[in-house]
Every structure is written in C-alpha cells, then in structure tokens.
Amino acid sequence: MTTTGVIPGGQPSDPGPTGGMPQQRHEPVGHGAQHVENRSRSSVITARAAASFEPVGRSVASARSFVRDTLQGWGFADIVDDAVVLTSELVTNAVVHAGTSADVLCLRSDDGVRVEVADRYPEREVPLQSSAVLMSSPDREGGRGLQLCAALAGRWGVDYTPTHKTVWFRLDLPERPVGTRAAGPSLPADLLPLADGRVRVAVVQIDRSGHISAWNEDAEELFGYPADQVTGKPLTDLAAWPHTPGTSTGIAEALRLSRWEGSYGIRGANGRVTPVYASHLRVRDTGGEPSTVCLLVRDHERAVLQTPLRVPASDSSASSDGQSTDPFEVFIGSPAPDDLDGLLQRTVERARDMLDGDSAFLLLATDDETELEVRASTGLPSARQRFARVPVEAGPGRYGSARMPAVHDDLAAVPGAVPLLNGTGMRSVVTVPLKVEGRLTGSLGVAAESPGRYSNEEALRLQFAADRIALAVESARLGELERLRRGSLSFLVEASDLLAGTLDRDQTLALMAQMTVPTLATWCAVYTIADQASEPYLSYVLHEDEELIDGIKSLLSKIPPPDPVPTPGARVWTAPGEVAHQAALRSSMRSLGLSGGPLQQASSGIGPTLATASAVGGETVVLPLVARNRVIGMLTLGKPTDEHFRQEILELAEDLSRRAALALDNARLYSERTAISQSLQRSLLPPELPSIEGVEVEVIYRAAGEGNEVGGDFYDLFPIRDNAYGFAIGDVCGTGPNAAAVTGLARHALRLLAREGLSGPAVLERLNSAILDEGARSRFLTLLYGEMRPQEDGSAELKVVCAGHPLPLRLRQDGTVEPAAEPQPLLGVIEDLELYEQTVTLDPGDVLLCVTDGVTERREGTRMLGDDGLADVLTTCTGLTAGAVAARIMRAVERFASDAPSDDMAILAMRVPEPHKD
C-alpha cells in the first residue's frame, strides 16, 4: 500500500488505513514550509507533495508515476525525465535492496525542484565485497543511484539520522531559450483578423510604422514609463532584441507577421532590461489600418501567454480525436533523441514503464549475429557491465534464442536462460527481438522481481513496440558506426605520424600508452621482450588518473606477465581483475580489524588501495606486439570495475598495436646500431692522454654530423721510449664513417712505426704507402707529426714534419706568434715522398698550437677566420695555461659564425710552463 498527498505546507500527519487509496493532507502555504529551509536550501518552497511506498517491487513503478504526475502538474516538464530516473533508482535502493519502506517528498521552488527519498536503513555501507561481481555494488550507497545523482542533479547529498537515511537531489529549471518560438505567415491587410478599436487587454499596440500607439497602465507599472512619454516612439528604442545564432527574424520583421511568440527584453526607465515573454497578434481596425497588439508579461510568468508545443500530425497519421498515432512517437515520445545512446536509454525506460517492470535492457547484435552487446539498461546494477557480450543462442529450443520472443515465468527454474540477469534478483522476464528486413539487430527485454508477471499479451505489446523502433535504432547504430570508423581512420593516421616521428625507444613506449589512454582504455601497460629467451618485462604504465599509476604498477609487478602468444587479436586477461578483487577484500578486512586466514597470508605486501583495485577491476585485454615475425612485447588495456570493451575499440586497438610494434622494433634496431656505431667510433679515439713531466697538453675535438663521435680529423699523443713522446694531428679528406676508417688506419700505423725507432720522415713515408695500398678506398691525408723531448733546462725539443697540414703556431712569452714549421706534400697522393723534419725548441712560457682546417676555415658568409685570424686570437693567450689557450681558441671559432660547424675540428695545445719562483 502507498500513501500520498499534496502538502502545500506543514508537518505530515500519520497515515491511517485507507484501503489502498492515497491519503490527502492539506495545509496553507506559508510559515509551515519553513522547516524545510534548514536543509541547505535558500529557495522559497511554494508547494510540496509527499508519498510513502511499501517495500515491494511494484512500489518502484508507483514512485515513478507519483513523481511524474507531481512535476507535470507543477509545469516542470523540462526536468520530469531526470527526476523520474533518479527517483526510480533511489526508491529501488530503499524498497528492494534495503528492504524498507520509502518516503518520497517533492518540494517546489521558483527555480527548480528538490526530491527527497528516505528509508529506514540508516547504516552506512562497509565496503566488504563477497565476490568480484558484487564488488562496489552500484545498487547500494555509492553505487548507481548516487552516480546518477552526481551526473544529473545540480546538487545532491545524503543525510543520516538514528532512524532514517535520506538521499536528496535538486534539479534546476533549464534556462529559457530566447528568440522566436512560434510564428505565422505574413498576410495582406484585408485578411487580418478584425478588431473593434483599441484592444484594451494589450500592453502595447504598434502602428504600421512600428511606433507605439497605445501603452496601458500595466506597461507603465512594469517598465516605469508613462504613456505620454513613449507614445509615438519606435518600439525598437525600448526592445532589447536577442541576436541568437540561427535566428534571422528581427523585431521589425516579427511585428509584420500575423502571429509571433517568444522572448526578448524591454529597457525600463531605470536603465535595466526586463526579460519579457511576448505574444504578438497582427490586426486591422475598421478603417483597414493594420497594427500589432503585443501582450507582454515578465519572463518567469510566461505560462500566462505561452502556447503549448504541439506534435505536428499528418493526414495519414491522425486519428479521429486529432492526436498523433505514429507508433514510434507514441512509444519514444517527441522529440526523439538524436543520438544512439539517448535513443536506447529512452527505449528501455519506456519499455519498463509500459509493462510496469522493475528493469529493462536492450542489446545490439554484432555484425555476424552470433553475440549481443549490452548497450542500455535501467534498474540493473551498473548498467550490467555495458558493452558486455552474451551469445545469441543461449540454450536449446526457441526460448534459448534471442531471435524469437520469449516469456520466462520464473528464471529460478531455468537458471542461465537470460545471462544478463544472473545474480540480479529478477524472476520473470519477457524478451523480444529487434529485426530489420529479417535480420536480427538486437534484443529488448523487461524483467520483474516477482515470478509470473508476464504473459503472451505483454510479449505482443513489447514486440509491437520493438518493431516500431528497430529501424530507427539500426539507422542510429549505422550512423554511430560510420562516425566511429571515420574517427578510427583519423586516429590511426595521427598515431602513425607520431610513431614514425621518433626512433627513441622510451619515447615510443610513452606514445603507445598516451595514444590509448583515455581514447581506447582507462589504463594501459606495455610489456617488452628483449629476446626469445627473456621474460616479458613491465616497461610502461599509464592511467588517466595519474595518482593511480604507481598503485597499478605495484599491483601488476606482483602478477606473472601474460603469455607472449603471437596469435593476432585481443584476448581477455583475468589475472589483474582477480588480484584486484582479492586486494580489495583484504583491504576491507583490515579496515574491520580482521586478519589471519589464507587471504591474509597471501597478501605478502601487495596491499593496493581500494581505488587501485577498482581501477583494474574491469575487463583487461592483451594484444601481442608482433614485428618481423617475432613477439617483442604485449599491449595491455584495462577498464575499471564492471566495464567492458566495445568490439570496435578492440579492432582499433589491434590496428594500433601492429603499427606500434613496428615502431618499437625500429626504435630497438636503431638503438642497437647506434650503440654499435658509437662503440666502434670510440675505439678510433686515443685513450687518455699521457701525463708529460714539464709539458702541459690539452686537446679539444669536435666531430661534425649528428651521432658522430669520430670524423675525418684526428689527434694522438703517445710515449715512444723513455722521455720521448710522439704527437700527431691530421685531417682525412671528407667526414663521416669513410673518413673515420682512414683515421683509424693512420693513428694505429703512426704508433706502430714510431715505436720501431723510425724517424719522423720515415714514419710518414711508410704511412703514405699504406694509404695508397687501400686502392679505391684510399683518401688523401694532411698530417702534422712530431716527436717531443722535455729537456733538463725546462725547455722542450720538438722535431716536426708538416705534410700538407695547417702550420703549427708558436706563441712566445712576449706575445709574438710565428709558424713553427714549413709546409710539405700531403699523404695519399704520390708514391715517392721526400720529407724532412724541422727542430723547434719551446722555451718556458712558450705555446705550440696545432689545429685542423676546420678551425681556420670557419666561415660566416664570405668571411673566413683563416691563419691570420687564428694568429690574432693566439696573440691574446700570453700567460695562459694550455687548457685555457685551447678553450679560448674554440670559443673564438664558435663565436665567429652563428651556424653550427660543418667540418670536423681538432685543437692540440702544448705549453712549457715557467719555473716556479721562490
């Protein structure tokens, strides 16, 4: 039994026996409504309606009807649907899941409505889950009811008392649209309705030219202008006409229409604009003069003038009573939702109401008609895992197939007959197919918690409705599929561009995850496999909520990785969901002070939070990353609790995984070859420079080209024998790996020949022969080679051969700079060379500077540093150490031009320090 009543104010009285009829309670509006203002509401309550419902399944439908009738009676049609949906969920929680009666209270104010649903089950929920399916049950506090409140309501909350729990929500009236609402055609003056003189009920009357000809007392009160002040003025001087996008009619055009109704503003005497709702009527007086009568009211009083919207009805669809008989509009309502999800949700809600059910659901068939995908539901927990799939043929016989209508009197007698309803408490159900041109496109069902609720008559009614909406649903589904395919193509093109834009392995991993989250999945993990003998390694984890990334990474690190199966396509991985459920259960037990048992022993430090467990508690799929016929990793995508992947999303993820695998393998190969190249290049550089007593030595080397550590320029400094050292600086023709190969030959040959005791000219002559023996691979080489011997008097003796190389420069203590050798032929061009060596003595404080042509040929436009520019810079280095000299030379070279150097450069500076003075 339910009790209901419309209560303008005051405290409700206890209901008495009424024989099942609602008991009315009335009190005048006024101070009696004041007690509800203490519940965080500032609006004045203008009306109240209350009803009580017993803890039986039918009470949910009764509560929906009560709220719908109440709000429609108050003129709140704009928010009826949201209020009915929220009330239905909250009353279901109370009378079905909490098992108590429910009290529903509707409170009206000027700008919206507040609905309160109270039950007698005040305990707060303890988050203790007993199974993975029921974890974070959405039919309890914190579940679907409150999620819907958060999504639909302007404000909502939960209040607790020792005996009651009250969930309330507030829905605000939407902003009224401005501009034209209804209009009639422009008619000749002789066809306008006839009016006798002035229309006294009009607020304003406008003449043919658009000027005010009448202004009554109500207009004066509303806008502050006396009649003599505005008469004769154009209405456009006072009207604030909305320039709404898509509204082409201005006020001048509206005044010439036979009828017009809509919103605009009137600028009052105080300068403020008063929003008004207006109804215009074009008339003519007895003399045939046309004018427009404008009835104006304040916008919030628009019901005085507003014409109700009517559904246009054609001759073929109109019945004798003038009402529309279009079966689709009768069932869905007008206007119909223009999106697929909205259409499906409206369908299940109307189907549930039509058969007075406790829940309803709609599933769409896959392209091959072998499975049905959950797309909309009402009255079921968490939309019963949206996008989850069930087989079309669930069992033998006609009642086990979704292709035929079916009525199940009691699901307890045939468990599993409707897989979607397993564990929901529903007992009786009627299902019908949606078909288009004989092809199965979906299934619509309505269920109740009591057995034996439905018969063939209800099945026929539901089938009739399904036949009316099947074509619209299929059309909307194909439109959505086309949009998804276009979006998928654009997504894959962008993904390919991003993946092709990098050869860095870590950046490729990050791009893979960032492209999937949140577009395809809520979280993502990438496993990589180094080689066939290696185990998958967790390389990257990403979640749309960054605070959950560490928790997910910790949880996945405790789970054995998925098997690297090369089979294409997505496969379900249940391990994360199972571990998440166990972790959530352990967390709940700890919060209750419980411990021990096998679960406690198995925890061993995992301990993720409930938020982490919920984040990975939904469906998880694994896609192999296959490149060049080898599994190089796995892409793991996950959803939070009770969510499943759509087939279209999985197909898109599979396409992405193929592109990502190739990009990741290319990055791996590039990294490996770069490492090999750098290792070989480093082998061409000399080891650490020897420490020479009595001589300072500094080298600066720069190889041109990205990724090159060695080019055509080279240097070396090495011991030959006791107190004798060889030094060299050279330049092979060209840059890059080919030049570096000759560099390696020259450097190693110099060391070998010099240690054989050969003189400088003999060393270079044999090196020349070795270069010419390379044949087509040979390259000419400029080389400065010398032998240095520190002397007991603090000087250093150098024997130098300069074979085609820039001449070494000697800086004396007095700041003078002079060449320290004479030029001779370069190597690798002619066979018979006759070279000679020159002896140079470096006194204490002297510097010998040796460079390659990358230094002297540094250019900026037509300017070049040259030998003279280098000498000028060296002149400023008097008194500097060898390291400071080399650094100053390099800095001068870099600053000479703004562009990056295009040639290899080497600088070798040697200085004999001055003796320390006591």
Spatial separation of the C-alpha atoms in residues 25 and 8, rounded to whole Å: 9
Task: Look at residue 465 in the predicted model and tell me its pLDDT.
Answer: 86
Backbone angles phi, psi at 826, to 5 degrees: -80, 170
Distances (CA, A) of 195 to 199, 292, 789: 7, 11, 126
Each residue's pLDDT tens digit, 147-194 = 778 778 888 888 888 778 889 999 988 776 555 555 555 667 766 655
| CA separation for the pair 408, 22 (Å, rounded) | 33
Write down the pLDDT at residue 396. Answer: 59
Selection from 275, 281, 271 nearest residue 301 by Cα = 275
pLDDT given for residue 128 in this prediction: 41
- Residues 6+ positions from 215 with CB-CB distance below 8 Å: 203, 204, 225, 227, 230, 231
Residue 59 falls in which region: left (phi positive, over 0), alpha (psi -120 to 50) or beta = alpha
Ramachandran class of 870: left when φ > 0, alpha when ψ lies in -120 to 50, beta otherwise: alpha
> What gap in Å lies between CA 610 and CA 590, rounded to an integer?
12
- The per-residue pLDDT for 802 is 95
* Residue-wise pLDDT tens digits, 739-748: 777 777 888 8
Cα distances (angstroms) measured from residue 225 to each of 211, 265, 301, 302, 774: 15, 15, 21, 22, 107
Full DSSP string of 462-504: HHHHHHHHHHHHHHHHHHHHHHHHHHHHHHHHHHHHHHHT---
Angle between helices 549-557 and 575-591 (to 10 degrees): 110
Exposure string for 769-800, b = 16+ CB within 10 A, e = fewer: ebbeeeeeebbbbbbbbbbbbbeeeebbebbb
Query: What per-residue confidence (pLDDT) applies to 163?
Result: 78
Residue whose entry in the numeric block shows the structure tokens 């006194």: 843
How far from the centroid of its chain's Cα atoms is residue 606's Cα? 29
Contact 644, 388 (CB under 8 A): yes
Q: What pLDDT score does 527 carry?
A: 92
What pLDDT shows up at residue 397?
55
What single-letter DSSP state applies at residue 521? Answer: -
Local mean pLDDT, 10-residue blocks, the chain (918 residues): 42 38 36 38 76 83 84 80 86 80 90 89 50 40 64 85 86 70 61 50 80 89 88 88 53 80 85 85 83 85 64 40 51 68 86 88 85 85 64 67 87 81 86 89 91 87 87 86 76 80 85 86 89 85 87 86 85 83 71 52 46 78 88 88 77 86 86 74 73 91 67 84 90 72 82 90 90 76 93 92 94 92 90 90 94 89 90 93 94 88 87 78
Secondary structure of residue 578 in the 3-state scheme: helix
Q: Hey, what are 484's tokens?
A: 């998804």
